[in-house]
Chain A
């Protein structure tokens, strides 16, 4: 597993990984969209709008996961002085921002027919929009510092401070009385969702994760090439 912390190993391993990832992402996206749009049943209450969930939930998971990855790599970069952590930080921030935006927009499109409004100020929605602002600030930091060494350390410190938002997002549906529903799928209990709906959800999640990983690998490789000293 040394390729996760070493730039040269990562470069070598990603060359092997990239073709299977392209195949997996295309295949799973096609199968997942087929399942999500045609083969899965309509909800008895929500009708066809339940299909937005197959986009919304995976992108929300990826939005959170990207920030978690950035937090871990900030610790690796700052504490163990491995510059590869900073490379990852710079590469994956826009991906997280885009997936957070997809999550917010798709949730808003679902909310208009279901809740009757595009946006409510409940805890989950607010904390996710703050997550989006965090991603934007990280991108701004990456764009506005001239000195490379300063930029990566400052953005890592900001990510570490900003990671207080992650548990707030995760537990916001339990701590506050929100309009957003609590987590349906959790590790500790049986999911409260029908198997005919969880299959496309899982397929779409795999597809989304592989797409995100693909973009991340390409961005990290570019970053490794353009960087002077690793």
Chain B
């Protein structure tokens, strides 16, 4: 019971921290919409082109803009010592990484999910495709959160090369984007591709706590 209370307190704190930094998230979403505008200006506003390219453009931009803020995943908690306090309170590093991943999914990826309908209006994506896009983004963004947890915990002590974490996530997100765009664009292949996507999610969700827990421990020991 005490443990559950601790977890609830953790999420309450995450909520407050993310609420105070809400303009970061809003800036991220603004970046997303502006890049959609830029894409439309560059490929031209014809409806045929947009409906052909729309899903791919949308997924790419979602990926790029959700990896923008990855550096803040653990960095703030690491620098003000919250990670050590959490660890002293009986949270193992593996559990911390699971909790932070879920919190990142809710507080950072969720606003992107909310902005998908508006973006798909801009890119002229039909309603059925939008449902598939939404579904694929729910699964894919959770994979992205796991990957982000691994890469940002790896780069906690990296003071020189800030972009390395984003590059790591982008490399590993190639299968996600292949399967989720395929899920939407290829007809009558829905079940197999969504099974592959869920399988990827389960694999990465299983690897994530061990990899990022080890990296967090390493960073705290050597800071």
Bound CA–CA A161/B167 (angstroms): 14
Interface residues of B in 172-223 (CB under 8 A from A): 172, 174, 207, 211, 214-215, 218-219, 222
Please determine whether A158 and B167 come into contact, CB atoms closer than 8 angstroms: no
Please determine whether B218 and A141 come into contact, CB atoms closer than 8 angstroms: no
Beyond A133-B171, A134-B171, A137-B168, is A161–B161 a contact (Cβ under 8 Å)? no
| Interface flags, A124-145, vs B, CB<8A=1, else 0 | 0000001001100100110111
Interface residues of A in 142-171 (CB under 8 A from B): 143-147, 149-150, 153-154, 157-158, 161
| Interface flags, A4-33, vs B, CB<8A=1, else 0 | 000000000000000000000000000000
Please determine whether A140 and B214 come into contact, CB atoms closer than 8 angstroms: no
Bound CA–CA A149/B222 (angstroms): 8
Bound CA–CA A147/B211 (angstroms): 19
Interface with A: B10-18, B37-45, B90-98, B150-158, which one?
B150-158
Bound CA–CA A161/B171 (angstroms): 12
Beyond A140-B164, A144-B160, A144-B164, is A161–B211 a contact (Cβ under 8 Å)? yes
B159 sits at the interface (CB 8 A):
yes
Sort chain A's interface into a size bin.
Answer: 10 to 19
| Interface flags, A63-84, vs B, CB<8A=1, else 0 | 0000000000000000000000
Please determine whether B214 and A161 come into contact, CB atoms closer than 8 angstroms: no
Please determine whether A137 and B174 come into contact, CB atoms closer than 8 angstroms: no
Summed over the interface, the residue pairs from A and B with CB atoms below 8 Å come to a total of 46
Bound CA–CA A161/B214 (angstroms): 13
- Give the Cβ gap from A152 to chain B, nearest Cβ, in Å: 10
Residue of B nearest to A143 (CB): B161
Interface residues of B in 121-144 (CB under 8 A from A): none
Please determine whether A146 and B211 come into contact, CB atoms closer than 8 angstroms: no
Bound CA–CA A144/B161 (angstroms): 6
Most chain B beta-carbon contacts within 10 A, residue among A133, A145, A153: A145
Please determine whether A154 and B215 come into contact, CB atoms closer than 8 angstroms: yes
Of the candidates B150, B161, B174, B211, the one whose C-beta lies within 8 Å of that of A140 is B161
Which residues of A sit under 8 angstroms from B154, Cβ to Cβ? 141, 154, 157-158
Bound CA–CA A150/B222 (angstroms): 7
Please determine whether B167 and A137 come into contact, CB atoms closer than 8 angstroms: yes
Please determine whether B168 and A158 come into contact, CB atoms closer than 8 angstroms: yes
Please determine whether A130 and B168 come into contact, CB atoms closer than 8 angstroms: no
- Give the Cβ gap from A156 to chain B, nearest Cβ, in Å: 10
- Give the Cβ gap from A175 to chain B, nearest Cβ, in Å: 12
Bound CA–CA A153/B171 (angstroms): 20
User: What 6 A-B pairs have minimum CB-CB distances, sorted nearest first?
Assistant: A144-B161, A144-B160, A154-B154, A150-B157, A150-B222, A147-B222
- Knowing that A145-B158, A146-B160 are A-B contacts, what are 8 other residue pairs whose CB atoms are under 8 Å apart, sorted by A's residue number? A137-B167, A137-B171, A140-B167, A141-B154, A149-B218, A149-B222, A158-B168, A161-B172
Interface residues of B (CB under 8 A from A): 150, 154, 157-161, 164, 167-168, 171-172, 174, 207, 211, 214-215, 218-219, 222
Sampled A-B contacts (20; CB under 8 Å): A130-B171, A137-B167, A137-B168, A137-B171, A141-B164, A144-B158, A145-B158, A146-B157, A147-B222, A150-B157, A150-B218, A150-B219, A154-B154, A154-B218, A157-B154, A158-B154, A158-B168, A161-B150, A161-B172, A161-B211
